[in-house]
Structure 1
Amino acid sequence: MMKLKHLFNNTDLAVMLLNHWEFDEASWQLFKYYRISANAVYPFQKNGERYYLRFSPADEKTEQQIVAELEFLRYLREAGYDTVDTLLSKNGNELEGKDTPWGKYYAVAFKGVPGKPLTKLEASKELFFRWGEALGNLHRLSMDYIPNKNKRPSWEEQLLWMEKNIAEFPMEQAVEKEVCLLRKFFLSLPANKNNFGLIHYDFETDNVFYCEKTKTFHPIDFDDAVYHWYVMDVGRALKSMEEEFPLEKQEHMQQQFLDGYRTAMPLQTEMLELLPVFHRYADLYRYVRCLRSLAETWENEPEWMISLRNHINGMMDRDKRNFGRPLVI
């Protein structure tokens, strides 16, 4: 999540950035369906088709990070993997970096993907099997991926980023201890081509679309892609099932997912047994991002911001319950 000050609906900013692309006049009617979290996303139309303008301030995302994301997406598409595509700007660029009255912003326009998110579909054996297969195919392609110039961050760089940010919060000693515990653990964990590479990080129910007509999966939102163990993606997908589907169906769904994954990628039982540690990494990363997001406060904040603060604080309280405790493996 971005800092709270970046979460306001800023239609003027969106219009300034969108004007670097071709679009239909009817696009303005779609702006009311915007969403803002890790990025600002405003839907628009071109030739009657749906696109999405995604932008973020330079203090949230660097140009190098975004270029690396787009390069990985291009590699996947060229390899025949169904994923989100971009729309070139009037200047022929995938990425536009522009100075605005609100500072420097980076913008990309993405084409809409076919189908519906998994949260909108009826659960079935085939759906979960093929969802796992889609993740396995992504990791299989990642095994051979070599970036041309820009590289996405690694788990080590993310931990350094976390340390840098929590240094501004001296009371967060448990968070500091958690960073040290996880760094020590992951440095001791074997990493090789078969179990480690560039992962999606958010291959969850709301970021994976399934087209029933073509029977194809289309993951979106690669802006958290990171070099990590592949099981991190597996664990987060399994976790999202626990949050979205009834308890009595979860074990069966998760097994179908794992069976599908294993048709494309090897997955050792020993790695699955380490999932509690990977969950703690995800909790820590989310906690620090939220800590940074909530740091600034203002008088007379709007009601939506107060409500959002309360929601995030509750989530952070849950995330930090195990911080600093010994890792149980």
Structure 2
Amino acid sequence: MMKLSIMRDFLESGASEELVHSLLENWGFEQDSVQFLRASSNFVFVFERNGEKYILRVTPNGNRNKLMEEVSLLSFLSMNEVRVNMPVQSKHGNMVEEAKSDFGIFQAVVFRFLSGTQYEIEELSERQLYLWGEALGNLHSCSKQFLNTNTHSVRNDTVQQLAELNSSLPQSESLARRELEAIKTRLMTLEINQDNYGIIHFDFELDNLIWDGDNVQIIDFESSVGHWYTADIAFALRDLFEGNVDFSNKSFQLYLEGYRSKMHVTDGEINVIPMFLRLHELITFASLLRIVDVENDLNNPQWVTALRKKLQSKIDDYRDGLKRRGK
């Protein structure tokens, strides 16, 4: 998620609409069809062109090289019949376009709009739980092939992720820093090989799946990174595991059965899931500390004040969890 100050300044500025329209000119769009959808790590809009819907994703001060790697991965996955939201070339033949503004440099990517249904976990049938796991197993199986045909090295991604965590966590957050050291020590004991480590989605939650009948369509690959494949299972099922990792849970067993229909994973690798959940919590905690960069100011718009309060509450919850774990 982007810093709250960037989100506020962009969405509250009258110049933001002009910037979005200038970016869309690179693809062409129908006037008055542009609608804001959401903001997280980027700004997402839906628009129409020639009667068809598309998604515009605008990233403030993004990494162009990483965006191009994402585009390359999506193209490969689509060619291998993984259902993803494919990026669309601009009029200039580019997958990524840029624009400068008072807020910085913004990168834009346009995707085809995927129609379908999104579910909450309690709404899933037993068959859908199996299909959810199967879709992740198929994704990992295909990403292994992508690595065999691509020069991208993923082994340094985890090292870089841990280094970024180390630099972003304030020295005052002693419990969080102690947790980081414990996780680093545990990760150093894990084997890395071509069967258990590669490119993962990182956020294979139901929010990023659009169902077309039994077909699972996958969106939001912006956080994809080199990691252990089991971490993707943990991150995807974190709502299921909230507060208690129960490997005998029927929903988990159905998910795992679906995953194993496409991808091999050992019981030993599955047993590392609790540690990967701790890692995800720590990453989220560090991210929230960075995101909440505005004061509780009466001059802030009401939505900023409400969002800041919500995020601060999550920070407090994570701190409480670290205290309980430290006892």
Which bracket does the TM-score occupy, shorter chain normalised? 0.7 to 0.9
CA distance in 1, matches of 2:312, 2:296: 17
**Aligned partner of residue 57 in structure 2, secondary structure:** strand
Q: How many residues align?
A: 312
Q: In the TM superposition, what is the alpha-carbon distance from 1:21 to its structure 2 partner?
A: 1.3
**Aligned partner of residue 291 in structure 1, secondary structure:** helix
CA distance in 1, matches of 2:325, 2:5: 36
Contact preservation (8 Å) 2:5, 2:293: no
| Residue deviations 1:29-88 (CA, integer Å, cap 9, x gap) | xx1x42111110011011222111101111xx3111111111111111112211110111
Residue in structure 2 matched with residue 210 of structure 1 by the alignment: 211
**Aligned partner of residue 69 in structure 1, secondary structure:** helix
Residue in structure 1 matched with residue 295 of structure 2 by the alignment: 297
Q: What amino acid does structure 2 have at the position aligned with 1:119? A: E
Contact preservation (8 Å) 1:199, 1:233: yes
The alignment status of 1:43 with 2:46, answered yes or no, reads yes
Residue in structure 2 matched with residue 266 of structure 1 by the alignment: 264
**Aligned partner of residue 239 in structure 1, secondary structure:** coil
**Aligned partner of residue 50 in structure 1, secondary structure:** strand
Task: Extract unaligned runs of 5+ from structure 1.
Answer: 244-249
CA distance in 2, matches of 1:241, 1:13: 40
The alignment status of 1:56 with 2:59, answered yes or no, reads yes
**Aligned partner of residue 75 in structure 1, secondary structure:** helix
Residue in structure 1 matched with residue 234 of structure 2 by the alignment: 235
Residue in structure 2 matched with residue 247 of structure 1 by the alignment: none
Residue in structure 1 matched with residue 184 of structure 2 by the alignment: 183
Alignment of 1:36-185 (within 5 A): 36-58=39-61, 61-119=62-120, 122-146=123-147, 148=150, 154-166=157-169, 169-185=170-186
Task: Extract unaligned runs of 5+ from structure 2.
Answer: 243-247
RMSD over aligned CA atoms reads 2.3
Q: In the TM superposition, what is the alpha-carbon distance from 1:151 to its structure 2 partner?
A: 5.8
Contact preservation (8 Å) 1:87, 1:109: yes
The alignment status of 1:19 with 2:25, answered yes or no, reads yes
Distance 1:161 1:140, change over 3 A: same
After the TM superposition, which of the residue ranges 251-260 and 119-128 deviates more from structure 2?
119-128
Q: In the TM superposition, what is the alpha-carbon distance from 1:89 to its structure 2 partner?
A: 1.1
Distance 1:94 1:121, change over 3 A: farther
* Equivalent in 275, 278, 300 of residue 277 of structure 1: 275
Contact preservation (8 Å) 2:121, 2:206: no
CA distance in 2, matches of 1:259, 1:79: 22
Q: In the TM superposition, what is the alpha-carbon distance from 1:173 to its structure 2 partner?
A: 2.0
**Aligned partner of residue 157 in structure 1, secondary structure:** helix
Q: In the TM superposition, what is the alpha-carbon distance from 1:242 to its structure 2 partner?
A: 5.3
Amino-acid identity (%): 30
